[in-house]
Amino acid sequence: MAIKPNIRRGALVASLLLLTALLSVSCNHKQKPAATQQGINYGAVATPAFSADSAYRYVEEQLAFGFRTPGSKGQKECSAYLQAKMRQWCDTVIAQPFSTTLWNSQTVKGVNIIASLDPDNSDRIMLCAHWDSRLWADHDPDAGNHRKPILGANDGASGVATLMEMARIMSAQRPSVGIDFIFFDVEDQGMPEWADEDYQDNTWCKGSQYWAQSPHRPYYRAIYAILLDMVGTSQPRFTKEEISRRHAPSLMDKVWRVAAATGHASIFVDQKTDAILDDHLYVNQIANIPTIDIVQNNTDCSFFPLWHTLGDNLDAVEPQSMKTVADVLLKTIYADYPAK
C-alpha cells in the first residue's frame, strides 16, 4: 500500500488535488445513510460460494516464500506459485516482466501477473491487488527495524488471496463477462520515511504504472476495475476514497449499495474520505479505466495498526474479512452478469 493524505506527498498528488478539488474533502465528513437498493434484491443474486478458509490458506502459502521483495528468492518463487495456481482456474495466464528504478536509483525487476477468464469476451471486468511486500518496515515502533523487510500478510497477500479464491470459484460458475485478475508487482517500494531526500510520489506503484502504459493486450479495455488493498484486517472498514469517487462514482456507489443491502454497511461505510496514492490512480489516469480502491481506512484516517511494520504477519489476517469483501464483489458482478 502506498500513502495516505496524512503522510508526506509531493508534486504528483498535489497536482491531482488541484485538478480534482480534493482539498474540499476531509476525513471528518459525517456518515451518511446507506444507499437504497434501487429495487434490486442483491441478497437473492446467485453467486458461487467463497471459502474464507481457502483464502486464508493462500495467504499462508504466499508467506511461506518469505519476503516478496524485488530481487529476492521469495519474489521469484512466489511469482511461479501464483502463475501455477492461476493456471489451474483461468484460461490464460500472462507474466509481464519489467524493469524499474526505485527511489534510491536502484534498478530492480518486477513481474505483473494477469490471469483471465473468457479472454475472448470483449466485455471485461478487472480485479487487482499487489503481490509484493515492502523492503522497509519504516513504520515499525522499533526504529531498529526501519530498514528491515516485512512479510506483508495483510498489506499485499490478503488482497491477492481474496482474488485467488474468487478465481477458483468463478472458474466453475462463470459470469457472463470476462474477468481479468491482475497482480501488480513493485507497488510497495516507495520512498521510506527515513529517506533524507525530497519526497517523490511516483516511487510507489511501479507495476501498475508500467501496466497502465503497456497493457498485456493492445488497446485493452474494461468496463471497470476494482483494486483490493489490506482487506484482511480483523476490524475491516472501507470508505469512499476521493480518487475512486472522482473517476468511478457510479461504481463506488453501487458497490457500497450492495454492501448495505447485504448487511455490511458498518464495514463499507458511506463516508467520503481523502485521496490515497495507490494502484488505482494510474489505472484511472493512464489506462482510463474507471477504478475504485477498496482499502482499509480507520476512523482516524489511518491504515491498520501494523501497516509497514514487522507485525504484518499471518496473525494480522482475519479470514472472514476477506470473505466479506469477496461476497460484496461477487454480488456486484453477478447481479449484472449472471452465471452462464
Q: Distance between CA 31 and CA 113 in Å, rounded?
A: 37
Q: Distance between CA 139 and CA 133 in Å, rounded?
A: 14
**pLDDT confidence of residue 197:** 84
Cβ atoms 235, 300 nearer than 8 A: no
- List beta partners, residue 3: 277
Residue 40: helix, strand or coil by DSSP? coil
Nine-digit cell string for 46: 446467485
Cβ atoms 159, 231 nearer than 8 A: yes
**pLDDT confidence of residue 340:** 81
Return the domain boundaries, the chain: 11-336
The alpha carbons of the chain give a radius of gyration, in whole angstroms, of 18
- Give the contacts of 95 (CB within 8 A, at least 6 positions apart): 79, 83, 111, 112, 113
Determine the average pLDDT of the residues in 15-37. 39
- List beta partners, residue 295: 229
Determine the average pLDDT of the residues in 257-277. 97
Nine-digit cell string for 100: 524499474
Average pLDDT, the chain: 91
pLDDT higher than threshold 60 for residue 34 = no
**pLDDT confidence of residue 3:** 60
Find the distance separating the first CA and the last CA of the chain, reported in whole Å: 35
Summarised one tens digit per residue, pLDDT across range 115-151 is: 999 999 999 999 999 999 999 999 999 999 999 999 9
Nearest to 292 by CA among 328, 252, 264, 265: 252
Q: Which residue has the higher pLDDT, 32 or 248?
A: 248
Q: Distance between CA 269 and CA 291 in Å, rounded?
A: 18
- Give the contacts of 35 (CB within 8 A, at least 6 positions apart): 253, 256, 257, 260, 270
pTM over 0.75: yes
Going by pLDDT thresholds of 50, 70 and 90, the confidence category of residue 196 is confident
Cβ atoms 85, 164 nearer than 8 A: yes
Q: Are strands 124-130 and 92-101 parallel, antiparallel or unpaired?
A: unpaired
Please provide residue 337's backbone torsions phi and psi, each rounded to the nearest 5 degrees. Answer: -130, 75
Going by pLDDT thresholds of 50, 70 and 90, the confidence category of residue 29 is very low
pLDDT higher than threshold 70 for residue 52 = yes
pLDDT higher than threshold 90 for residue 36 = no
CATH numeric code, 11-336:
3.40.630.10
Q: Distance between CA 252 and CA 287 in Å, rounded?
A: 18
Summarised one tens digit per residue, pLDDT across range 221-237 is: 999 999 999 999 999 99
